[in-house]
Amino acid sequence: MNLKMRHTLSIVVENHYGELARIVGLFGARGYNIESLTVAETLDPAISCVTLVTSGDDRTIEQIVKQVNKLVRVLHVSDLTGSAHFEREMVLVNVRTESSSALQTVLGLVAQDHLRVAEVMDDGLIIEATGEWKEINTLIARLVPFGIRHIVRTGTVAVWKQPSEEVTNLVGNIQKSPSEGRAGKVA
């Protein structure tokens, strides 16, 4: 397959000074695209989980996974795309609703799509929505005509539906095989 496809990577990394810079630097230096990136600590503050969305053909993705895996303090990296997983992204949209008709239309949209009005201002609304990346894109497209004053997306976060024992041992709190402890990445 030589099609450039969107891939969601889940990277578990030791929460050390400079490790995120190493991951981001690798993408920059090797010309890989970062479409979105989120990072936060896991149950164990010594371990962070990065969800990174990139794109490329199969060869490129294979190489990206290997290069990230090669980083000394990366504990596990997996390409979630193609496996059973769950993705969400959150967006905050500050949309203009100066006329009451605009306000009515936007509120209609909010009700119809089960969105949340996070804040009401004299001349606009802050809408909060979560959904898959594509849903967020669709929502934004529908809000554009009203005039968006400011918009921020979090980028995708993703979890496995059936994580491997290795992943659970790293980022969960069910120690399935305590004898092995924290299993390393597959070398």
Partner 1 sequence: MPLATEDREAAKTTTSEVPAKMRGARILLEALVREGVDTVFGYPGGAVLHIYDELARMGPRLRHVLARHEQGAIHMAEGYSKATGKVGVVLVTSGPGATNTVTGIANAYIDSTPLVIITGQVPRKMIGTDAFQEVDTVGITRPCTKYNYMVRTVEELAPIVQEAFYLARTGRPGPVLIDVPKDVTAETAAFPPPAEIRLPGYKPSLAAEPKQIEEALDKVLAAKRPVLYVGGGVIHSGASEELFELAEALHIPVTPTLMGLGCFPAGHPLSLGMLGMHGTYWANMAVSGSDLLLAVGVRFDDRVTGRLDTFATGAEIVHIDVDDSSLSKNVRAHCAIVADAKTALRQMLDALRLRPSPAAPSRRNLDEWWQQIAVWKAHAPLAYKASRDVIKPQQLCEELERLTGGTAIIATDVGQHQMWLAQYYGFRGPRQNLTSGGLGAMGYGFPAALGAQLAFPDRQVIAFVGDGGFQMTAQELATAVQYRTNTKIIIMNNNSLGMVRQWQEIFYDRNYSHVDMEWTPDFLKLAEAYGATGLRARYPSELSSVLERGLATPGVVVMDIIVEVEENVFPMVPPGGGIADMVLG
Q: Which of 77, 63, 38 is nearest to 167 (CA)?
A: 77
Of the candidates 4, 25, 118, 134, which one interacts with partner 1 according to CB under 8 A?
A: 25
**Which residues neighbour 48 within 8 Å (Cβ) at sequence distance 6 or greater?**
12, 13, 14, 15, 19, 20, 39, 40, 41, 42
Residue 124 is which amino acid? G
Are 27 and 177 in contact by the 8 Å Cβ rule? The answer is no
Task: Select 11 or 139, whichever has its Cβ closest to partner 1.
Answer: 11
Strand partners, 86: 159
Q: How far is the CB of 73 from partner 1 (least distance, A)?
A: 5
Of the candidates 69, 154, 164, 168, which one interacts with partner 1 according to CB under 8 A?
A: 69
What mask, x for binding partner 1 by CB under 8 A, covers residues 26 to 45? x--x----------------
How big is the site for partner 1, counted in residues (CB under 8 A)? 28
Kindly list the residues in this chain that would bind partner 1 in the complex (CB under 8 A).
13-14, 17-18, 21-22, 25-26, 29, 59, 62-63, 66-67, 69-76, 181-185, 187
